[in-house]
Amino acid sequence: MAKSYLDQLVEYPAKALHKIGTNKDVVALLLDDWNVDMDSDAADAVFDQYLFDYLYVDSTTDEARAYICSEIEVGNPKSITMQDFRLYVTVICHKNFMKLDPRKCSGLIGNRRDNLVRSIDLLLNGSDIFGIGTLCLASVKTIASPAGFTTRELTYKISDFKDKGINIGNTGG
């Protein structure tokens, strides 16, 4: 497949979600299982059931759970060789899944959504998983949610070099 300046639209959310979905703290919060076996089918299923590379949660869902979405936005190029990206990681939690059971998750305070946000930031902020440069947290916002849910969005800045050798007109090999 031909390379494009927009390959990062696919690559960056996938890399972020892989890092998030392979973290035991995040998986424990998503599954509400503090003894989760990271080699189990349940841990693997997190990628299909609770992590998405697009911002969407069906508001008619009848399961009180939390979901993590990741998307990329491409800003104006800084120069011919630099692009300006924003990585958005959105944590969406059903209001009936917000409360943490202190008998299960000793040592955590607050709610599930904010603990997911904290855990994700510990994984991503300052990370160099995208190559050149590091992710830098730009903002954390509460945003509009589907009915019955609450949502926080983390925004990370990413600077990346463009590959001057990409031929945009090339449609295949």
In a domain? residue 64: yes
Q: What pLDDT does residue 40 have?
A: 96
Q: What pLDDT does residue 82 have?
A: 62
Per-residue pLDDT averaged across 155-169, rounded?
58
In a domain? residue 167: no
Task: Write out pLDDT tens, residues 35-44.
Answer: 999 999 999 9
d(CA 157, CA 136): 5
In a domain? residue 3: no
Per the structure block, which two tokens stand in for 118?
């904290």
d(CA 6, CA 8): 5
Full strand arrangement of the beta sheet holding 136-143: 51-52, 66-74, 82-94, 149-161, 136-143
DSSP-based three-state secondary structure for 132:
coil
pLDDT band of residue 80 (cuts 50, 70, 90) is low
**In contact, 148 and 95? CB cutoff 8 Å:** yes
In a domain? residue 112: yes
Q: What pLDDT does residue 169 have?
A: 39
In a domain? residue 1: no
In a domain? residue 134: yes
In a domain? residue 172: no
Residue 25 confidence (pLDDT) above 70: yes
Question: What range defines the domain where residue 68 resides?
Answer: 8-161
**Which residues fall within 8 angstroms of residue 7, CB to CB, at 6 or more apart?**
none
Q: How many domains does the chain have?
A: 1
d(CA 92, CA 69): 8
Task: Write out pLDDT tens, residues 95-125.
Answer: 999 999 988 887 899 999 999 999 999 999 9
> Which pTM was predicted?
0.86
d(CA 73, CA 62): 31
Q: What pLDDT does residue 85 have?
A: 85
Q: What pLDDT does residue 61 have?
A: 72
CATH number of the domain encompassing residue 146: 3.30.2000
